[in-house]
A and B are shown apart, each in its own frame.
Chain A
Amino acid sequence: MQVYCFHLMPWAYLPDDFHQTHKTAWVTCPNTFYDPELGHPLYNRYLDELELADQLGFDGVCVNEHHQTAYGGMPSPNIMAACLARRTKQAKLVILGNVLPLYDHPQRVAEEIAMLDVITKGRVVSGMVVGTGMEYFSYKINPTHARERFHEAHDLIIKSWTTDGPFSWDGKHYRFRYINVWPRPYQKPHPPIWIPGSGSSETMEWVPKQKYTYMVLPTLAPFELRRQAAEYFSACCDKAGYTVRHSQIGWGIGIYVSDTDEQARREYEPHYWYYARNLLRTTSEYSLPPGHTSMKSVLGIMQRRLQSRPSNLSTWDEVDKAGYVVVGSPETVRQRLEEYAKKVGFGLLIANFSVGNAPREYTAKSMKLFAEQVMPKLRGINVDDAAG
């Protein structure tokens, strides 16, 4: 198994009662909550944490893209990857991912990923996403065109990396007389593509056809629902004519390790609730704009959401038992992850150590304990054989 360190870079200074006074941490959450004086050390601390992951031997570090929100501090994931490019040595830089439909010039994504790939001599993984519903409010992109734009932008970017330029692109949403991406990516034919998803069936059906990696996002659902998503993805690979490889399934999960189970919970829980209640807080109108997700998926989401959203849970036992996160002593965390890995078959563990407004020293301690006592024992699990 490969192990990656994922970061959301959340805003850590919302007031405690935010969820009682505001309907959303997204789109229209007043940016007066953001204080650059606090933001400066926060950004640098978060970047330190990803650099620490590189030093501790994680296989990669992951950043992502969200806009106009306290939930995540990376409107430009490529800038964060650039910050990390020369400060990390071994770790892959995983951009999870660029929100393709937001951009009227997808070749900008192709260019920036190629720049990072060349600078790092091929350490880049390029994630591509449709993006949350909220981004369609923040960037005024028509959500009824989300899927079309995603697929067309994807096709354009892949072609720009794999076809000698210049060429013309004459599509529905994108028309360019001259596509000629400089630099070309370092990796051949192009950086690996990972597609994160939160369970919409159209994504899980499309990814296998491309033979890409699917990452089961951690945010919205308990273990069992996410296991079902991975199972459906594997079935879609079967349908596409091959058996899924372990390294094609990424498992996003919040992890926290401390000396004992009791101590881990005590340290982690308040910051988890900050994440679940404040940062995930949004309206159903913002999260499900019309046409952003297929009717079938919307109906499924409307069913599931009521029971499964972390913000609707009230006790830690619910969170812990249903496997929204994995928190405990090194031994507990190891057991739990092994159990999950064997049930799901994932070969990529994508772990988020920094939850909500957790303080710096907790995150660093947890990452070190994990790297020393848990990670080595996971290495041998779900490894693809050479032929696979």
Chain B
Amino acid sequence: MTNCKQETISVRGRNTRIFRGGSGAPLLFLQDTFCPAWLPVHQHLSASYEVFLPVHPGCAGSEDGFDQFDEIEDLVFHYLDLCAVLHLDRPVLVGASFGGWIAAEWAIRYSGALSKLVLIGALGLRVPDAPAADILGIDVAAARQAIFADPRAPLALDIIPDTPKQEEIVSSLLARQTLARFAWQFPDNPRLSRYLYRVTAPTLIVWGERDGFVPLAHGKAFQQGVANSELVVVPNSGHLPHVEATDACVEIISNFLRKK
């Protein structure tokens, strides 16, 4: 049973699709590009927060004005503008995977514009000894292996199918295109680590123990770089712990958000 509604809002003249649901303090969830939808994790979080889940520029429903986006920083401004449109004041900012990279780039610039930060398997850091996989260069079987702790589970086959369902081909191509625009071959900003000290908001870093896309070393590097942060590793989970181990992940996030 879902309580979410979908709407299209205008952000600086660009039509942007957004899911929202629940009530309470605002929580902006910047999602990954693998399963861009309102998921059980959002449903759980919406029990205590008003959850906003925007569709990234370029992805299905938010194709408008994609040519205006070249750098990850453009997305930071996009989401600050989106918060202005929705009157979100110092939201909890949660970012997973690609969305986590945007959240981190936001936090080094405007840490005061968010109340708490949660990064889940975030892209963005350059860790030369443990590089991220070239997720757009490997085949679907290898991608499932990289993204999921259990690549044979129905969930994994549903999110990264061998043959995409006809009605999902276009949206999955668009999502790959968004990822490629900002994350081609090296899904990072080599200068990001230099500025992690600027993140002052309380920060939770959640990482799948068996993330084969962005290795756990990245989670540790985020934790070391952000002063007020803790790292929680989720067992039996890959790159998308909020999807593959939803209950554990929700509990970890809820505990963190309840803290004063």
Interface residues of A, Cβ cutoff 8 Å to B: 23, 27, 137, 140, 142-144, 283-286, 289-291, 295, 298-299, 302
Measured CB to CB, the nearest residue on chain A to B183 is: A142
B173 lies within 8 A of A143 (CB): no
B138 A290 Cβ-Cβ under 8 A: no
Inter-chain CA distance A284–B179, complex, in Å, is: 17
Q: Which residues of B contact A144 (CB under 8 A)?
A: 177, 180-181, 184
Sampled A-B contacts (15; CB under 8 Å): A137-B137, A140-B184, A140-B186, A143-B184, A144-B177, A285-B137, A285-B139, A286-B137, A289-B136, A290-B136, A290-B176, A290-B179, A290-B181, A295-B170, A299-B170
Q: B180 to A291, Cβ gap below 8 A?
A: yes
On whether the beta carbons of B139 and A295 are closer than 8 Å, the reply is no
Given known pairs A285-B137, A285-B138, the reply for A290 and B169 (CB within 8 Å) is no
* 19 additional A-B residue pairs with CB within 8 Å, beyond A285-B138, A286-B137, A299-B169: A23-B139, A140-B184, A140-B185, A140-B186, A142-B181, A144-B180, A144-B181, A144-B184, A283-B139, A289-B180, A290-B136, A290-B177, A290-B181, A291-B180, A291-B181, A295-B170, A295-B173, A295-B174, A299-B170
The docked-state distance in angstroms from the alpha carbon of A23 to that of B140 is 13
Bound Cα distance A299, B179 (Å): 19
Query: Which residues, 181 to 212 on B, are CB-close (under 8 Å) to A?
Result: 181, 184-186
Which residues of A lie under 8 Å from residue B185 when comparing CB positions? 137, 140
Partner of A142, one of B139, B173, B174, B184: B184
- Which of A27, A137, A291 has the largest count of B CB atoms less than 10 A from its CB? A291
Give bound CA distance, A23 to B139, whole Å.
Answer: 10
Min CB gap B76→A, angstroms? 19
Chain B interface secondary structure, helix, strand, loop or mixed? helix
B170 touches A290 (CB 8 A): no
Neighbouring A residues of B173 by C-beta, 8 Å: 290, 295, 298
Q: Which residues of B contact A302 (CB under 8 A)?
A: 169
Output the nearest chain B residue to A27 by Cβ-Cβ distance: B137
Which of chain A's residues have a CB closer than 8 A to the CB of B137?
Answer: 27, 137, 285-286
| Residue contact A143 to B180, C-beta cutoff 8 Å | yes
How distant is the Cα of A284 from the Cα of B173 in the complex, in angstroms? 13
Contacts of A284 in B (CB 8 A): 139
Q: Which of B122-161 contact A (CB under 8 A)?
A: 136-139
A285 partner residues in chain B, CB cutoff 8 A: 136-139
User: How far apart sit A101 and B137, CA to CA, in the bound complex (Å)?
Assistant: 19
Cα–Cα distance between A290 and B136 once the two chains are bound (Å): 8
Report the minimal beta-carbon distance from B38 to chain A, rounded to whole angstroms: 24
Q: Which residues of B contact A27 (CB under 8 A)?
A: 137
Q: How far is the CA of A355 from the CA of B180 in the complex (A)?
A: 35
Cβ–Cβ < 8 Å partners of B180 in chain A: 142-144, 289-291
| A27, B138: Cα distance in complex, Å | 12
| Residue numbers in A under 8 Å from B181 (CB-CB) | 142, 144, 290-291
Residue of A nearest to B143 (CB): A285
Task: Write the chain B residue with the least CB distance to A23.
Answer: B139
CB distance from A106 to the nearest CB of B (A): 19
Q: Output the least CB separation between B219 and chain A (Å).
A: 26
Contacts of B139 in A (CB 8 A): 23, 283-285
Q: Which residues of B contact A140 (CB under 8 A)?
A: 184-186
Q: How far is the CB of A172 from chain B (nearest CB, A)?
A: 8
Look across to chain A and name the residue whose beta carbon is closest to the beta carbon of B186.
A140
